Amino acid sequence: MEDSVFKPYLQTKSVFKEDRDILRPSYIPENLPHREKQIDQLASILATALRGERPSNVLIFGKTGTGKTAVIKYLGNEILKADEWERIHFIYMNCEIVDTPYAVLQNIGNRFVQDFDERIPFTGWSTERVYNILREKMDEERRVVVIVLDEIDKLVYKSGDDVLYHLSKINDDLEKAKISLIGLSNDLKFTEFLDPRVKSRLGDEKMVFPPYNANELRDILQQRAELAFENGVINGGVVSLCAALAAQEHGDARRALDLLRVAAELAERSGCDRITEQDVRRAKNKVELDCVLEATRSLPTQSKLVLLGIILSEERGSKRLTTGDVYSAYKELARRAGTGILTQRRVTDLISELDMLGLVNARVKSFGRGGRTKEIQSSVPMLETKKVLEKDEVLSGIKNYRLKFQTTLLVHE
């Protein structure tokens, strides 16, 4: 151990108490400050299940990090605790993971299959058959089944609303069992893609979780900080700064907790046993960079080519690009990479998408006699982003490529 490269890191005192997962999103605290009203309202709906009746279906909306998942998981635990006769089944699914009608039905169905040999297989059956087994098995006993579809919008965008149609209608075909659906989403628009009947059935009750303000975030962080850190590791300024920074965006508790966790990790890594406001600022930069790189990594290949085109043009010194410039750069890269070449119109759409993701900044500029064009600039750190882009298999062939075409000159008054 004497000369081990790990030695300095093993010796430093940890700023965390034993369980560092307390600051991770998967941790559900014993109470959820500033969600008392929403919890009450949902409890009054779900209490019906404890009387053996079917609760209304509920749709819950709210921006990311407003506590939807945390509240519903918390209520799931509470309802199982209160369920003396064990008549309630609480089934939670995240539709980003369970994202096809087959998988959703299989997942629900297998909760009611006791015998291992009778389990519904991962693939191979018709959806119809899975649905029939599910209905049959579920209906063997008197019970109330509460099904939570978290990120329900992902399911709808990927597979349409067929499965929701069947699930929301299933009560008509059940004699003993009753089911109730709870959908969670951070996207208000997805209901436009639902059949009107599905939409009205799912939305018996609708709730919106508002974003947290800075004071509320501070309470949430304070609670977690007390659980996560040793005494004296953190001061009030650190918690307030994390809360204020997260509130500036849209009141996202996940972002606030991320800032605190990353600040703690940075402090720890530099061998300090206290977390300072400076660490929070460093954490903010790191979290932001990680977000940008993650967004870049998950872009479709054609969008990656567009973004790379913008970065390479800028690298060559063209600071204000028109849509035409970006298109020329894109075409050159797409040709080199051997992918198909999209139309300029489609590329214009991709630029708007990159703009929405915050990876580029596209402003409409008017110039000269009523002419209008977009002025496009990247808003990503070039070196790091380029590295991520070049990791894409399709783009790896154009590593270190230099553009040949010339940009047009934008004339500004």
Ligand X SMILES: Nc1ncnc2c1ncn2[C@@H]1O[C@H](COP(=O)(O)OP(=O)(O)OP(=O)(O)O)[C@@H](O)[C@H]1O
Instruction: By CB under 6 A, name the binding residues for ligand X.
Output: 25, 28-29, 32-35, 62, 64-70, 186, 220, 253-254, 257
33 contact, one of Mg ion, ligand X, none, CB 5-8 Å limit per kind: ligand X
Pair 252, 65: CB distance under 8 Å:
yes
Shortest Å, Cβ 187 to ligand X: 9
- Which partner from the list Mg ion, ligand X, none does 410 bind, CB cut-off 5 to 8 Å by kind? none
Nearest distance from C-beta of residue 300 to ligand X, angstroms:
22
CB of 74 to Mg ion, least distance (A): 12
Cβ closest to ligand X, residue 253 vs residue 351: 253
Residue number, 186 or 276, with CB nearest to ligand X: 186
Give CA–CA dist 257/239, Å, rounded.
Answer: 10
Check: CB of residue 283 under 8 Å from CB of residue 259: yes
Residues 257 and 177: their CA atoms lie apart, in Å, by 40
Nearer Cβ to ligand X, position 220 or 362?
A: 220
Q: Using the minimum distance from each CB to ligand X, give the nearer residue, 36 or 173.
A: 36
User: Which residue of the chain is nearest ligand X when measured via CB?
Assistant: 67
Among residues 65 and 309, whose Cβ is nearest to Mg ion?
65
Taking the complex as a whole, the smallest distance from the CB of residue 97 to ligand X amounts, in Å, to: 12
Give the shortest CB-49-to-Mg ion separation in angstroms.
22
Six token digits for residue 354: 């990159």
Q: Which is nearer to ligand X, 181 or 329 (CB)?
A: 181
Could you say which of ligand X, Mg ion, none residue 109 binds, taking C-beta under 5 to 8 angstroms by partner kind? none
The one of ligand X, Mg ion, none whose footprint includes residue 110, by CB under 5 to 8 A per kind, is none
Q: List all residues 6 or more positions away from 323 whose beta carbon is below 8 Å from its beta carbon.
A: 344, 347, 348, 351, 373, 374, 376
List, in order, residues 6 or more apart from 91 with CB less than 8 Å away. 107, 108, 111, 145, 146, 147, 148
Angle formed at CA 164 by CA 163 and CA 166, multiple of 5 degrees: 65
| Residue 302 near Mg ion by CB under 5 A | no
> Number of residues in contact with Mg ion, rule: CB under 5 A?
1
What's phi and psi for 376, nearest 5 deg? -115, 135
Q: Quickly tell me which residue has 């932001």 as its tokens.
A: 288
DSSP secondary structure letter of residue 27: -
Looking at the Cβ atoms of 20 and 254, the one nearer to ligand X is: 254
Q: Is 69 in the site for Mg ion (CB under 5 A)?
A: yes
CA 39 to chain centroid, in Å, comes to 22
Alpha helices, DSSP H only, in 229-322?
A: 236-249, 253-269, 277-297, 301-315
Least distance in Å: CB of 210 to Mg ion?
A: 15
- Please give the residue ranges that form the binding site for Mg ion (CB under 5 A): 69
